[in-house]
Amino acid sequence: MKILITGAKGQLGQTFSDVFAGHNLILVDRDELDITDLEKVENYVEAKKPEVIINCAAYTAVDKAEEEPEIARKINAEGAENLAKEAKKINSILVHFSTDFVFDGKSDIPYSELQTPSPLSIYGKTKFEGEKMVFAVGGRYFILRTSWLYSQHGKNFVKTIAKLGLEKDELKVVSDQIGSPTYTYDLAFAAGDLISQANSSKLKADSLFGLYNYSNDGECSWFEFAKEIVKLSGGKARVLPQTAYEYATSREGVTAERPAYSPLNCDKIKKLGIKTLPWQESLAKCIEILKSNKEPGSRNLTKN
């Protein structure tokens, strides 16, 4: 397949580049393609004619988005809409990513695709707006809501805590926000499975497209997540709990409000035979790669 990956230099983009390595990849970052510029997107997509567009470009600085709402909106909402329009025009599959931050965290059970979002932050609001724009454009698209992403690429919570756990005697981590950590490679394999099913099920493909939740199985607080990271990575730091309020008041600048409880119900995607591994198992895999600097490998998807 010819696959266009936007945001290719980011954590998610690098992951997809690894997993889809056996395909004809077109890798672009903002320098090569500004997804907020519709004319540039039109010209680029129509010239390249990819069969699949995977949108890994996003504004993910949750706190900074509170001070830059228009920039976050242009990337997370308008950029998604631009790609959706061009994907529909050339009949390619669009894979777009959203977040558990579209919810307000007031539920006491994992959120399903049927529950109405009510985001608390600018980041969450712009990601939800992006979802709605992709939906309004229509076509052959998958929106994957996910949560607490990490990998061996880029900057993320796992790499930060693993490093600090080796350097510090003590770490304070938020204990009253609950979610589901998700390894980006598991997410990429799930996206690949969706694409393969859509390509191999011509008669039923239209019913496959739409919104799906995907995260690793299980839930934990950031505090519990950090304790497991330090343990697996061989750190000696004591991990201590703190409240979200204590965290916010200890920082300079604006701190965005985050959902207190945001695990995702992944039953819909599981019904397609797509597995969701326990978060502890996937974390252990990532930590081993980080410790040994091993390449994560790739898995070629079925060509159609």
Q: Cite the active site residues.
A: 123
Single out the residue of 3, 2, 55, 67 nearest to residue 30, CA to CA.
55
Nearest Cα to Cα of residue 147 among 102, 115, 109: 102
Q: How many residues does the chain have?
A: 304
Cα separation, 32 vs 141, whole angstroms: 23
Nearest to 119 by CA among 97, 101, 144: 101
Question: Which residues are within 8 A (CB) of 15 and not within 5 positions of it... i.e. 6 or more apart?
Answer: 151, 153, 184, 185, 187, 188, 296
Classify 108 as helix, strand or coil. Answer: coil
Residue carrying structure tokens 């069969």: 51
Residue 173 dihedral angles phi and psi, to the nearest 5°: -135, 145
* Alpha-carbon span 258 to 237, nearest angstrom: 26
Nearest to 192, CA basis, from 5, 31, 62: 5
